[in-house]
Amino acid sequence: MEPLEIVDRIKDKFFSEVVDVKEFRDQVSVSVKREKLLEICRYLHDDPDIHMDYLADLLGVDYPDNKFRFEVVYNLFSMKYEHRILIKALLPEDDPVVESVVSVWNGANWHEREACDMYGIVFNNHPDLRRILMPEDWEGYPLRKDYPLKGPEREYKGFEEVKELHTHDDEWMITD
């Protein structure tokens, strides 16, 4: 099926949800409101003519100047029909929450954790939403546009245990 036909199908079923449709180099992206995202995804996955069984990718994007600051892009592909479509959920800055799609595609699990880690987007009903790439006690969300590329200059203090070891260094020094 051509991507634009899929868009028509989505519009038939969820007309009030579709905000914007864009096409670039034969790839079509559909921006939707976040409220019914899970239903749309389940429909695309289950419908026998669309059959989006493969979640190729899931990512967050940050647009600080937009009304909806965050976007979550779902990159869907069908193994059977070999067609692709990008679904974008729009999230406001003060409440970046969207329903998790792990119940539809298991592969979304870690992608959603990464989007949470990097952008602070919260995925409702996610089985295990923790930081994934950054340390668990990290503060801030690194891929947001207002996050600095370089952190403040801090002196590396080192691990207490290692310092403890080094206090005995001089006992081992060989002196003539």
| C-alpha R_g of the chain | 23
- Could you report how far apart the first and last alpha carbons of the chain are, in Å? 84
CA separation for the pair 104, 47 (Å, rounded): 13
- Return the residue of 16, 19, 20, 22 that touches another protein, per CB under 8 A: 22
Q: Indicate which single residue of 41, 62, 99, 129 sits in contact with another protein (rule: CB under 8 A).
A: 62
List, in order, residues 6 or more apart from 32 with CB less than 8 Å away. Answer: 10, 14, 17, 18, 19, 40, 87, 88, 89, 90
Query: By rule CB under 8 A, what string of x and - marks binding of each residue 25-44 to another protein?
Result: x-x-x---------------
Write out the two tokens for 18.
């579709």
How many amino acids of this chain bind another protein (CB under 8 A)?
A: 36
Does 66 contact another protein by CB under 8 A?
Answer: no
Should residue 21 be labelled a site residue for another protein when binding is judged by CB under 8 A?
no
Q: Which of residues 128-157 bind another protein (CB under 8 A)?
A: 131-135, 142-143, 147, 149
**Site membership for another protein, residue 59 (CB under 8 A):** yes
Q: Which of 40, 109, 121, 126 binds another protein (CB under 8 A)?
A: 109
Token pair for residue 15?
A: 């007309």
CB 6 within 8 A of CB 85: yes
Tokens of 174: 């060989």
Q: Which residues would be at the binding site for another protein (CB under 8 A)?
A: 22, 24-25, 27, 29, 53-57, 59, 61-62, 73, 75, 79, 82, 84, 86, 105-110, 114, 118, 131-135, 142-143, 147, 149
